[in-house]
């Protein structure tokens, strides 16, 4: 008889259930099995910071008295903030070779609005900003707005600071872009003031009414839907649709789709792997658009 696999600790253990329950209640994210196994490791800095011995004590504190600081630290520690520069390079090629030229041809008011929803530590938004700046003259006279939002206060703080480790910049950033757009900062690197100034980083929950208003030409919500329930995926797509116009383009992560999650978006007829708002949606034509919360 094959050995009986051990029962996963996260499924069985009261403390883990409480802490993953907190994560889900605050963010909608369901802890993946892989991350649940690493929960203890992820929470170690939180235990140290708050002078607690183990996750049982931590869970008891979470249940016992409302401590918003502690809860925020737990949520930040359990969120999956995995990101890298130019993640899935072909997506950035699609954006710059096909999607942006189309927006540029159609947008009469010479304003480009991009929303990176679930931006983590900012690599996606910085990658877009780098490509736009490298295209220089092509965007002369354009107003470019990049909004990047995430629920993790720690991730947004890092994104806003523009500070990246040597390991971060080695993941996806070309050496030419590193030298051109980043400055050495001790053992790390920091995005230039010009690049940082292009992006509005905001702490925001996709399920919160504070989400921005206005419409975006290009929306990226990549590797965020994966750990939501189907109902929550549909709610996020609805939110993204409410911030889109008839020509907006939506990009999701490689393992994500709109199929089966409502009818707000359909596969884009031209840009393979991207999505367009369902034509039946009431709303604006390009050029009307705008603005902002």
Nearer to ligand SAM, 253 or 283 (CB): 253
Nearer to ligand SAM, 35 or 113 (CB): 35
CB of 157 to ligand SAM, least distance (A): 12
Q: How far apart are CA 241 and CA 208, in angstroms?
A: 15
Cβ neighbours around 69 below 10 Å, total: 9
Q: Is the peptide bond before 4 cis (omega within 30 degrees of 0)?
A: no
What region, left, alpha or beta, does residue 290 occupy, with left being phi > 0 and alpha being psi -120 to 50 degrees? Answer: left
Nearer to ligand SAM, 223 or 247 (CB): 223
Nearer to ligand SAM, 81 or 192 (CB): 81
CB of 221 to ligand SAM, least distance (A): 7
Antiparallel, parallel or unpaired: β 111-117 and 216-221: parallel
Measured torsion, CA atoms of residues 120, 126, 132, 135, in degrees rounded to the nearest 10 = -140
Nearer to ligand SAM, 13 or 77 (CB): 77
CB of 284 to ligand SAM, least distance (A): 25
Distances (CA, A) of 58 to 47, 63, 95, 113, 153: 7, 9, 44, 42, 20
CB of 279 to ligand SAM, least distance (A): 27
Nearer to ligand SAM, 37 or 207 (CB): 207
Nearer to ligand SAM, 210 or 288 (CB): 210
CB of 103 to ligand SAM, least distance (A): 20
CB of 156 to ligand SAM, least distance (A): 9
User: Given the rule CB under 6 A, which residues bind ligand SAM?
Assistant: 27-29, 79-83, 87, 118-120, 124, 150-152, 155, 205-207, 222-224, 253
Return the structure tokens found at 96: 């710059």
CB of 138 to ligand SAM, least distance (A): 25
Residue with tokens 């980043």: 182
């Amino acid at each position: 008889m094959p050995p009986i696999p051990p029962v996963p600790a996260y499924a069985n253990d009261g403390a883990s259930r409480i802490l993953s329950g907190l994560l889900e209640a605050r963010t909608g994210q369901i802890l993946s099995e892989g991350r649940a196994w690493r929960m203890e490791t992820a929470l170690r800095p939180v235990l140290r910071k708050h002078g607690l011995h183990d996750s049982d004590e931590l869970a008891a504190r979470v249940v016992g008295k409302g401590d918003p600081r502690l809860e925020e630290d737990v949520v930040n520690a359990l969120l999956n903030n995995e990101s890298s520069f130019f993640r899935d390079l072909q997506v950035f090629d699609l954006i710059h070779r096909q999607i942006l030229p189309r927006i540029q041809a159609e947008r009469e008011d010479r304003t480009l609005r991009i929303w990176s929803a679930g931006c983590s530590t900012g690599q996606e938004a910085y990658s877009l900003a780098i490509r736009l700046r490298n295209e220089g003259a092509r965007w002369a006279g354009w107003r470019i707005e990049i909004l990047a939002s995430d629920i993790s206060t720690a991730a947004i703080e890092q994104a806003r600071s523009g500070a990246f480790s040597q390991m971060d910049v080695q993941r996806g950033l070309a050496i030419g872009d590193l030298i051109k757009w980043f400055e050495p900062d001790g053992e790390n690197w920091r995005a230039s003031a010009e690049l940082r100034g292009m992006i509005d980083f905001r702490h925001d929950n996709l399920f919160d009414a504070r989400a921005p208003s206005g419409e975006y030409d290009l929306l990226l919500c990549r590797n965020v839907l994966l750990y939501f329930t189907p109902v929550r995926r549909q709610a996020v797509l609805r939110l993204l649709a409410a911030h889109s116009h008839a020509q907006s383009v939506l990009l999701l992560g490689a393992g994500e789709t709109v199929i089966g999650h409502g009818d707000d978006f359909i596969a884009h007829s031209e840009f393979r792997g991207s999505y367009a708002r369902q034509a039946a949606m009431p709303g604006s034509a390009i050029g009307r658009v705008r603005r902002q919360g």
